[in-house]
Amino acid sequence: MTDFKKSVVYQIYPKSFCDSNHDGLGDLQGVIGKLDYIKELGVDYIWMTPFFVSPQNDNGYDVEDYYHIDPRYGTMEDFERLVHEADQRGIRLMLDMVFNHTSSRHEWFRKALAGDEKYKKYYIFKKGKEQGKAPTNWESKFGGSAWEYVPGMDEYYLHLFDVSQPDLNWDNEEVRLELQKVIRFWMEKGVKGFRFDVVNLVSKGEFADDEEGDGRKFYTDGPNIHRYLKELNAQSFGKDAEIVTVGEMSSTSLENCFQYAGEDSGELSMVFSFHHLKVDFMGNEKWVLVPADFMKLKKILFDWQAGMEKHNAWNAVFWCNHDQPRVVSRFGREGKYWKESAKMLATVIHGMRGTPYIYQGEEIGMTNAGFHDISQYRDVESLNHFRILQEKGLTQEDAYRILQVHSRDNGRTPMQWNADKNGGFTDGGPWIEVNGNYKDINAAQQMGDEDSIFRYYQKLVSLRKEYDIIAYGSFQALDERNPSVLAYMREYEGQKLVVVCNFYEKERNWKCPVGLWGYRCLLGNYKDRKMEVGEEATLRPYEAMILYKER
């Protein structure tokens, strides 16, 4: 049995990973062809974002059919071969389950719109207020109202995301039974992990106007969420002790996550939370330009590390995914300190208590896209907000600057495999442009360079397997008030590990509050760092070190 505490997960966004059939879209055969690359990195699981039948309004997170592979990605035979070939390399598959909503083209929703009362109850339909107003003032996370009017019914349906993604009604037991069946189907195919998309939104509370916000307080961590997750566990993935699960938790709280991912809670193995990725927001407002708040970032990371440990619960730790900009562009430094800052950011995450997730291209330091024309964007959220920002009075230039920083398309440009046309992703026309820096930043170049970001990630993955302290050690924040340095200590069975990272370009003299005599440097992002470290260290720009001491 694979121990998920010693494991590392590699996330693949299939559409942008590798195209095997020249149509400009990544596919399952493309993933199979890159399994040796993933094995060399050393990871244990591949999390695949959705490749089910979908109209692709939200790049597969609008599922039309939970049981079939979208032909643009391949066939069920391709998927079965992927499971087999991955297993031959000691890698397991984790699938993405989108259970808060379906596509409006799902058979269930089509029947609901046709007036079938059974399937109407699979979704959330409500009468509007007087004067043709929506049932509540809730806002969609993609902009605009969360309600869509259906003239033939004189009712509205709820869609917390795009209008083409109607929310399922989890209070209907028949819906929950259907979703349990979906999980069991993929378990039979050999899947050993499941990631649940925005799963803490599935239990809705009161349907009322939110006088203070956008409605999220009425549907986030809702009244029946823990009961529903326990039920899903007991009736599906909980029947196989080897299966690992992770829940994506939107705007959640530590207190709820103690239960979601508590060791004995009977819900999920671990959780994603996103508070640390809102430190360059203004409150909950993403579509603004404000500097990242480093002290807030530290506090959030440290609070979650300590809080989850105290309650014997488990984190998924990460910087990047298909919904986030590239971390080296966000919290690091492109250009002069690109390599150092990318390695530093990796060190922060991979030394922590929790299961690390690497998003495709992160391990080679891929950067934000730098798109400068709306025709280059594909993401529905970005397209909506480009319009909304201008309606609020911003110029096109200002709207572009915000998209260049925050758009989800920054994380969705094709994987940069080599210096060939389109970065080796496709010899067709890519569905979204390849980042223009692919000749300088690509996997082939880095695999041949022992000092590369790829090789550094490989070492971090290896250290977690070699040193039990990284997987099982306690967590203690260090030097919390330091305005430039992020540092923490891990302890386990007489061993100690200190991770220290300079988050800035300026050199810093740093004195560790616990003293560092007798520690040796297991890994650092500057080649000439001495193995022995004394009481003080001069930290160079973006310098990171993992220091270790046995009894």
Write out the catalytic residue numbers: 197, 248
CA distance 473 to 482: 23
| Buried residues in 134-158 as b, exposed as e (16+ CB within 10 A) | bbbbbbbbbbebbbbeeeeeebbbb
DSSP class per residue in 270-299: EEE--GGGGTTSBTTB-SS-----HHHHHH
Q: Among candidates 497, 473, 485, which has minimal Cα distance to 544?
A: 485
Under DSSP, the state recorded for 152 is T
Do the bridges between strand 270-272 and strand 355-359 make them parallel or antiparallel, or are there none, so unpaired?
Answer: unpaired
CA–CA separation, 489 vs 495, rounded Å? Answer: 10
Return the amino acid letter for 430: P
Distance CA 81, CA 85 (A): 6
8 Å CB contact between 201 and 99: no
Q: What angle do CA 475, 460, 513 make, to 5 degrees?
A: 35
Closest CA to 108 of 96, 98, 97, 117: 117
**Phi, psi dihedrals of residue 446, rounded to the nearest 5°:** -75, -30
CB of 464 within 8 A of CB of 6? yes
- The one-character DSSP state at 435 is P
Cross-sheet strand order for the sheet of 155-158: 125-126, 155-158, 147-150
Identity at 341, one-letter amino acid code: S
Separation between Cα atoms, residue 268 and residue 314, nearest integer Å: 9
CA distance from start to end of the chain: 30
Q: At what angle do helices 173-188 and 225-235 cross, to 10 degrees?
A: 40
Task: State the amino acid at position 115 in one-letter form.
Answer: G
Q: How far is CA 495 from the centre of its chain?
A: 31
